Each structure stands twice: as C-alpha cells, then as structure tokens.
Structure 1
C-alpha cells in the first residue's frame, strides 16, 4: 500500500514552547485546590500544603512575583488548615516542692534584738538539713515537734498558752503538724495586731499633721473655705444661748448625791468654746441631707456622721419599743436578760428597712413584739395579754415611729443628752448616770457614744486651731482666754 506522495517542500519540525497558564490562574487554582481537597489527602506530586510541587518550578519567577508576594504557598495552606503543630517534646521534669517548715513564722515572731535566739532556731530548723534527713529516713519528727512547741510556748501571747498545751498531748504526727501550723498562724496575726497597735499613735500623729497641712494648702488657695464652718459654729452658739439651761427630763437624776454628768453639761455658766463645739457636733446628727452648706472641716466625715445618725434613730425606736413593752408586761419578763436581748434582736432586724418602708416596718415590729410577749407570758404560767391590751400595745408601738410621739421625743432627747455628756466627760463616766429608759440599751449606747467621741476628737485635733480662731470672734475675749479648744 502506497502512502500519499509527499509534497515537494520538506516538512519542518518546530519545537514549540510549553504554553504558560494565565497569570491569575495559579492564585485561583491554588485557593480552589485548598478549599476542595480535605485534610490528609494531598494531590499527586503535592507537598504537605496541598499544592503541586511543580507549580513554582513551572512558573517563572519574573511572571509571578505578585502571586508569590501576596499568597505564598505556605501561608495559604496555614490559613486554611491552621498552624502547623510543632514537634512534640518531652514533658518538663517535675520538681518536688520545698517542705513546709515553721522556721519563717517563728523568725517573724522574734524581736530585732533577739539575735541569739534567731541563730539557735535557724540551726535547729535548717531546711536543707531536714530535707537530707527526710531522704535518708533519719528525721526525728517528735523531737522537732517538741522543740517547736517549746519555742511557741516561749514566744506566744498568754491567750495562746492553752492551745499550745493541748498540742503537747497530740501523738499523731499529721494532726500535730496541722495543729502547730494553725496555732502559728494565730500567733502571726497576734504579732501583726500588736505591731499595728504600737504604731497607731505615730500613724495618728502623722495623719493629723498631714490632714492639717493639706487643708492649709486649700485654704491658701481659697480664703473663703471656712464660710460654712463659721456659719455652723455661729448657729451652735445661738442654740446654746436660746436653749434652757436644764432639760425637763433630767429630774429623775436630781436626787443623786454629788454633781451628775447632766448637771455638769447643762449648767448656767457662760459660753465656752468647748461647749459651743460640742453643740455643733450634736447639731450634725440633725443635719438636713438637702442642706449643702455642710462644714468644710467635716466633709471627709460626712458619710460616717450619716451612719451615726441612722444608728441614733434606730436606737431611739428600739428604746421606745422596750419602754412601752415593759409597761405592759411588767418586771417579770424584762427582768430576764435573755428575753430583753431577744426583743432587741427582733426589733433591730425588722428596722433595717425602716427608711424605705417605715409604716410596714413598725407594723411588723408591733406584731412580733406583741406576739413574743403574749407567748412568753403563757410559757411562764402568767396571765397572758387580753385582746384589749394587745390592741393597745400594738397601737402604742405603731405610734412610736412618729417624731411627735411623746415617748419617741423623750427618748431622743435623752440619747442626745448622753452623747453630749460623752463629749464633755467621756463615755464611761456618762454611763454611770444614764437617764431613765436607756438602761436596757446601755451596751448599744456605749458603742454609739464611743464612735461619736472618736470621730469628733480626731476632727478637733486636726482643725482645732481653725475652730479657736472662729470661736474667739463669737464669744467675749475674756471667756476665750479661760478655755480654748484642745488642739495639737
């Protein structure tokens, strides 16, 4: 079979270059391959990133600089499949924690001059030596425990002697060490409290000087900074001038021999700076919250004064409730301190919401107190309250919340008189002659009076010089020279 005749012109074989893909094709195909192919299944001839290894070899560098710079092969694979996990390494070696010893706590209980005792304790409780003995099984736990207990008995406060003696009878090493560290923690707290108590006078002195210096800086910038303080003291002096010399509710203590705090406070002597300042502090417990002309020297203590005012009001209602309740139940129930404490706890807990819901709170108090009195009388085999007496008791208790109530007014005046006596004579001396109706709340009055005295005393120490200058203009110079406000 003959093939077709060839043309006269010989055929030329030309090697054509392999066509290159479009410029954008690698980027699209690269993304498509990574998105479409699941993890763990790479294309033939592809590396771990899922891209053919020949792509970068086939594509000239001059024509794919943009693709290489924007979308490198490794970066694209990492964005899709996540970061490549590093090669797993061996876990770090675990080191044993240092054994816990009582050495640091015992050393913290020593005074700076006890150098010999410090050296002895460091030698007896050397941590490295104890660790070596424990590794070789030569650690004498009972001997060390006895040594630690002897040091604790030597260094502890008297209040911890009983706890240390109890540890000497413990034989179980685990419970013994646990008890030692527990008592050492208490001894450390005792040392901290002692340090704070010993430094308190120095801290208080520096606090007084610091507050006075800062206030003087503000006063130099604002000369009118004491305007409200001057107005406050002027009103206190006017109250002392216009008020009667004695209160009508102090007649019950007039039969006592000797001068009483009430007589010492409410005398007919001329005005003195101390009495004017005490009256000013008492007026702060009646301060209207909407009145913005609060004394500048007491702005830092305004929140504390409001808390004291709230406690004063609560004590007034509590004392009034106890006074009214005692008139219905007699001295049988109120001769029991347990019954009185129970009524005080009930009244105090129910008066917590008095400011937000006064009517509901006092109604609940009247119901609970009446029920408690009725049940206690029945338990003691006495005649219980009749329905009329119960209704009368509840009605009188509900009226106590009103300021115009006579019982509320008298109790409020007597509590303020006690606070005034506490400022002049001190809390403990004022407690010796409590007005009638306040003996049932003696502990609460002592706490309130001590807080009030501490606050006013600190304020008087800081701003005493400023008060003296203002009061010298309010009273006669002769009286100002006789008594001056105590200052530091």
Structure 2
C-alpha cells in the first residue's frame, strides 16, 4: 500500500469516529481515583449487515468505542489537574483543623540529584566571586531572585520593609557597582541575613544564627531559609483565614467540580447513580414515589441526600464510589469501620449483660469496663475478620462475668458460658435481632442528626445506646463535619 493510500485510510478512519468523548480525567493528584472511565457517544444509524469496525482493532465500535471527537491539549490537562489539587487542598483545610502545608517529600535519588545540582551552583558562584577581578553575573541573578522571594513574603502593610528591600537590593545600582568593581557581595549577604532575622518566625532563629556564624556567608542556607519562611507565611495566613476558608470551601469546591463537568460530563454518573438508588420509583406509598429529580422539592432532595449519606456507612463495594466524595473516601471508610465496631460492641455488651443478670450488671463500672475492653479488641474489626473478633470477645466477656460472679458469690455455669459464646457468635449475622435493633437505633439517630429533623439540643439519645454515648457522639460529629462541608 502506498503512503498516499495509507494517509487516506487514516483520515477516513479518523473522520468516521469523530463524534465520541475522550476520558481526560486521570488521577494526577494524590487523591484516590478521581477519574470516571465511562464514554458516551453520539448514536448512529447502523445496518444489520454492515457493522462498523474501529480503526485500531477488529472489534465493533459498540464494543471497543469510537475514536475521540477532539484532542485534549496539555494545557487543559494541567488546568484540570490544578483544579483537582486546589479543590483537595481547600477541602482538607476546611475539614482538618491540624492541617499544615509542608515541604514536598522527595525520594532518595531525586534528593541526591537536587543536592548535587545545588552544590555545583554554589561552588560555581564562589568560584566566580573568587576570581580577580570577580565575575558578578551569577551573583546579580541570585540577588535578584532573593529580592523577589523576600518581596513575596511581605504584605501591602509592610511599606517600610518593602522600601528597605528595594533600597538594599536595587539591581540597577548593584550592576553599576559591579561594573565599577566595588560591589561587596558578602556584605550584602550579611545584610540579607539580618533582614531575614527580623522577618522569620522564632522557630527559625537557630537557622539564622547558623548563617551568621558562617565565615563564608555566601551560602545556600539563605535560599533554604527563604523557602521555609514561605511555608511559615502560608501556614500563618491559612490559620488566620481558616474560618473564611471553612465558610466558603463548599461553594469553591462546587465551582471547581462544575468546571470539571464541563470538560467531562460523564464525571457525574456514579454520583447520580448513588442518589437515584434512594428515590423509590416502584413504591406507591412514600412521598418520593414515581418522582424524577426535576419534580422533587427541597425537603425531598434533602431527605434523599441524607439517606444517600447513610448508605456510605454500610457501603457495598460492588457499587462505584461517588466522585464528589472520593476526596473524603478514606475518612468515610474509617467512620464506617467505627460504625460497625460500635454496633458489634454494643450488641455484645447487651447480650452479655442479659445473660449475666442484674446482680452482675449492677456492679460498679462493670458495663463501662466491659465496653472499653471490647472496643480495644475490635479496633481493627471489619467484615473479613468479624468471626475471629467475635470469638475473642466471647472469651473476654465470659472471663469478665466469671470474675465478677466470683466476687459477689454467684454461680456462673458452663451451660450459660456456652450460651453466651453462641449468642455472641450469632451477632456476625446482620439479621440477628440484637444487632439489627442496635443498628437501626444508631442509624436513625445519625440520620436524624445529619438531616436536622430534630434540633440538636432536643435530640434524645436512643435507649440502649447510653453505654456508647461518647463514642457515638464523636462518630456522629465526624460524619456531620464531612456531610456539612459538601
């Protein structure tokens, strides 16, 4: 086949599939799987006999997918990556009161290369300054960079300091001094160190003193100190403006997410599927029966969202995780594990107390100590190790009851011990009546809190859950914090 024929074939194939979407959102930020991989294509008329074939495979287009309708530039990808990073950063600041901006960590090879390059640069600078006559070309570039870094640290209120920096590091004047061989670079660096000592945080005083004590003060330490000061200043402004960030983070994240949807409309599919599961299309009794999203009022939408959030506590991993929550997926999974732990723990305490009897239960701190010990055992509980943890809990509960019975001279028989083990192991079953009761009460309590169905100060703690009052309150607070930030 000639080159012209090949070119025509390629152009024909490209134009034949010119109307599909490309999945442009890749996981380019340190978040877990922020992408959506579904494709939508414009429907075409196809005959029953002539099945169109893709240009790269022997599979039909409805199997392999069509070629992209448009190409995505590197600038667009970088903008989307930056949008995701900014969205994740603002979200983390709003949710984590202890969050601080830190220096990026690098691997050993990268750090070694970076150190070698920096050492070579500063060695070259010293070599140029040691010449007779000195060569100030490197020094002037460095001083200009240092000037910009210092000015970036200053706010509009630092009028006097800005004037001092402009005067000290007047590049035009320094060039004239260099041409006249009267530029004192080392004195300039000493002045810069003194200026930085007035600007930096007290935690950096040791670094400043180390720079002062160096005989050769033309040192990389000045730039490293400026980098640290930049981090300190960023963290300072973040702390000062944290309340503003928290107040506007949800709106900012919404705008960023809508911007991503404009680039890739399919990004919303998993989120929409998650919400649709909580609209009762077949049930003719409920208020949401046979309604579409367009026909729902604000109260019904709020109810759907609250129910959808509750699903996250018992997530079925066969379903795709909502894209709008992937930033918080690790947090939500940790809350879900704690939710399961509290259900299991409370169920085991109630079963044990029921079999142990009133005299044992009324022993001071018996229930509290039993609950605390069970929480320790079940701290790493999940569905995969549930049976093993319940076995360990049954042994613990039996020992606790036996020890308490001996203290108050009550007989604890082997039959009751065996029954205790059997009932605790039965808690592994989601349909177990004790576990189901505890689960429903916890579920309804948290749902009521996140949906604001009852004012917080009027919310009564469910019967039977007082033993985990502190733990359930903490879990609910964590869940509300995530729920309220979106």
> TM-score normalised by the shorter chain: which range applies?
0.3 to 0.5
State the structure with more CA Rg: 1
Please report the TM-score for the alignment, with normalisation by the length of structure 2.
0.45
